[in-house]
Amino acid sequence: MKKPAVLLLEDGWYLEGDVLGATGEAFGEVVFNTSMTGYQEILTDPSYRGQMITMTYPHIGNYGVNADDTESSGIWAAGFIVKEASSLYSNHRATGGLDPYLKENGIVGIQGIDTRALTKHIRLEGAMKGAISSSGTDIDTLKERLLRYPSIIGLDLVREVTTDISYTLYEIDDPIFNVVLMDYGAKHNIVRELTERGCRVLIMPASTGAKEILKQKPDGVMLSNGPGDPAAVTYAIETIKDLLGKVPVFGICLGHQLLGLALGGKTFKLKFGHRGANHPVMNLKDRTVEITSQNHGFAVDAESFDRKQARNIEVTHVNLNDKTVEGLRCKDVPAFSVQYHPEASPGPHDSKYLFDAFIEMMS
């Protein structure tokens, strides 16, 4: 028998459905992702810390879950929202179903709601705080709790997802390069892409200072993806400032935003963000278009760099949907970044050249 659940947004709009995953209450920023597949990678992406994910594709869970498709140590999403969660799964790699997977990880979700209406509401009104409850809490009480929940603006969520210790995920024999990956919420596939190119990757805590990083004698430093407001991660910004010009730097997603801030720019919150595996991005160097995977709610403001700074910064990529900055390159030091996820392979190979460019920079 299905158990009722409700999704409430901070503006008072709510939808009634059925429980998915664990029973209870969950709070976070309600966002939507337009990917048709990849729900397990999305759930385990640390960039979704503090967010409740709405899948716009109506049927989710039909190929189950498995241990190989996780992008981190567990689920980081605050909640999961779908039109219909498949109770049956069929895939030779699957080891379990979506609903039990959410239950095992204590993730509260909701299904059976009109996700098209929810997505349109977010597009019109913007991403906002929300609550999922399957514990019988009345709407007025739930709204009181929701309004007390903190906004993601000004929130440093990196501290909640980063590693406490430095470690190596995949050891390889005779590495060509030593790379330090700053863990702001790093995905495993970033490490896989670097390892495949002959890199030994040392993953280090987000709070690690430049002096300690340079002690490792890295050939390059990767700035990973991650959650929250980039402007709140002040310690990482200062570290990146100290690294620039001393070692090649490549930033992805939050790492891109932090590089922009370290270069003297500013970031701003997008109305409803970019989340999905089908975002068109133009490479301004050769005018080619890449189909990209994205997950971010903030962007770098290209107009925020002063004239002196702007002379040494080149915008390399733009989003073709809203013209926001999708890539930066420094002209005076070896550093570049992209807002999207080249390791996620939605093209599937459109953006792989970025890792090759990092290898070439280290060479």
Decide if 279 is catalytic: no
Catalytic residue among 121, 188, 199, 253: 253
- Rounded Cα distance between 326 and 257, Å, is 10
Over residues 18-47, the pLDDT tens digits come to: 999 999 999 999 999 999 999 999 999 999
All domains in the chain, ordered by first residue: 4-148 (3.50.30.20), 158-362 (3.40.50.880)
Q: How confident is the model at residue 171 (pLDDT cuts 50, 70, 90)?
A: confident
> Looking at residue 54, what is its pLDDT?
98
> Looking at residue 142, what is its pLDDT?
96
Contact assessment for residue 330 and residue 361, using Cβ atoms and an 8 Å cutoff: no
Average pLDDT for 69-82:
96
C-alpha closest to that of 190 among 253, 248, 115: 253
> Looking at residue 348, what is its pLDDT?
78
Over residues 297-343, the pLDDT tens digits come to: 999 999 999 888 889 999 999 999 999 999 999 999 999 999 999 99
Over residues 149-160, the pLDDT tens digits come to: 999 999 999 999
- In the chain, pLDDT over 90 holds for what percent of residues? 94
> Looking at residue 247, what is its pLDDT?
98
**At a CB cut-off of 8 Å and minimum separation 6, what does 335 contact?**
244, 248, 249, 250, 251, 259, 329
* Cα-only R_g, the chain: 20
Decide if 343 is catalytic: yes
Decide if 341 is catalytic: yes
